[in-house]
């Protein structure tokens, strides 16, 4: 069943568990995510950004995600990730997305507030919830980082986060506490003290981006600290490509066998992340 998701997110936030959000690029990854959620009986979020749409196009990838969400026996949210283009946000709202993210983190604070307020007003009129980002999360969403340098100067200020949430009315806030998009080549550690200070002054659920490759104990600690939405991408990508590499020489032109192996590999990763987050909210 497609889920608008805010009730489930608030329940997760209240209980200090989290909903996993997985990035999809293909029909196989979309299926794997939904199957993992259904098998666990737990809610999941399928998300895609502009780069996810690049190869197959927004309407086709979105249609697959929305159709699978409707058919799933467990709640599935369909989310637009890291959008900077208002036209794309409006298009996804029209398509029937549960939620959208306006990423104004590259803008000045005042510009970020302004564009987020605009998106919140438009999305809420359509019953769609909004995620925004404050602070600088290093790395690329679509490739693993080559370094663990996390731009400590770009971490989210608790005071700025409180002001931002109050002025924008945003539903979920992604904050920078040291994570890196992709899987870095050396350990990354979260600033859990900063997270605690943010949680004390921000009255909305928080989102952790760049959770792939983080120490599992730190992920659990971040969830206990208020992260109600946790994003995973790189580990599913690696599972998908790993399945292709393992089978491509053995299967000849048996595409179906390769597709099934890719779905299974990504489903296993997604299932492990669902279990890691402990999220039985919305069961």
Q: Which of 81, 103, 171, 191 is catalytic?
A: 81
Residues composing the chain: 283
- Measured distance CA(153)–CA(178) in Å, rounded: 10
Structural tokens at position 43: 């809610």
Q: Where are the alpha helices (DSSP H) in 131-254?
A: 158-168, 192-201, 216-224, 234-247
Distance (Å, rounded) from C-alpha 140 to C-alpha 146? 10
∠ CA 223-207-37 to the nearest 5 degrees?
A: 75
Could you tell me the two tokens for 199?
């949680």
| 81 tagged catalytic | yes
Residue 220 to residue 17: CA distance in whole angstroms: 8
Active-site residue numbers? Answer: 81
């Amino acid at each position: 069943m497609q889920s608008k998701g805010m009730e489930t997110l608030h329940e997760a936030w209240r209980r200090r568990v989290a909903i996993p959000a997985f990035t999809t690029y293909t029909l196989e990854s979309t299926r794997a995510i939904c199957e993992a959620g259904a098998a666990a009986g737990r809610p999941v979020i399928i998300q895609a950004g502009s780069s996810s749409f690049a190869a197959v196009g927004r309407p086709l990838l979105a249609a697959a995600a929305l159709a699978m969400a409707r058919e799933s026996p467990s709640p599935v949210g369909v989310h637009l990730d890291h959008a900077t283009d208002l036209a794309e946000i409006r298009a996804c709202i029209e398509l029937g997305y549960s939620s959208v993210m306006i990423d104004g983190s590259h803008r000045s604070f005042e510009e970020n507030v302004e564009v987020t307020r605009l998106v919140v007003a438009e999305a809420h009129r359509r019953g769609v919830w909004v995620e925004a980002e404050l602070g600088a999360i290093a790395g690329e969403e679509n490739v693993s980082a080559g370094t663990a340098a996390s731009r400590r100067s770009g971490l989210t200020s608790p005071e700025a986060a409180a002001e931002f949430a109050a002025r924008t009315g945003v539903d979920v806030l992604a904050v920078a506490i040291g994570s890196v998009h992709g899987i870095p080549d050396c350990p990354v550690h979260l600033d859990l003290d900063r997270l605690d200070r943010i949680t004390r002054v921000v009255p909305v659920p928080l989102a952790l981006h760049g959770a792939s490759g983080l120490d599992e104990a730190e992920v659990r600690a971040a969830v206990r600290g208020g992260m109600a939405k946790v994003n995973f991408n790189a580990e599913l990508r690696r599972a998908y490509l790993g399945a292709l590499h393992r089978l491509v020489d053995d299967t000849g032109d048996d595409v179906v066998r390769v597709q099934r192996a890719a779905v299974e590999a990504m489903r296993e990763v997604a299932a492990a992340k669902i279990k890691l987050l402990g999220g039985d909210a919305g069961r």
